[in-house]
Amino acid sequence: MRMVEQDREPFEFEGRVLDLDISVGAAVLPDDGVEMTTLIDRADQAMYEAKRIRKEGRT
């Protein structure tokens, strides 16, 4: 994902360089559900799965 790769670049704030990282999860309508809360839950689950995979070094 280009957005994730771009946001991993160092960020300068008030003269300090900060290393940032983001996690993204996505849900697809209607495959993952049609209710907003269900879609948010599925996207949240996908985000935590991405974080787990990254932590295990399987980027």
Per the structure, the complete domain to which residue 38 belongs is given by 25-59
pLDDT tens digit string along 13-28?
A: 999 998 877 778 999 9
Split into its structural domains, the chain has a count of: 1
How many alpha carbons lie under 13 Å from residue 35 in its C-beta half-sphere?
A: 3
Share of residues in the chain with pLDDT > 90 (%): 51
Q: Which pTM was predicted?
A: 0.65
- Write the CB contacts of 40 (distance below 8 Å, at least 6 apart in sequence): 27
Residue 17 within a domain: no
Residue 59, pLDDT > 60, answer: no
Exposed e or buried b for every residue in 47-58, given b needs 16+ CB within 10 A?
Answer: beebeeeeeeee
Residue 18 within a domain: no
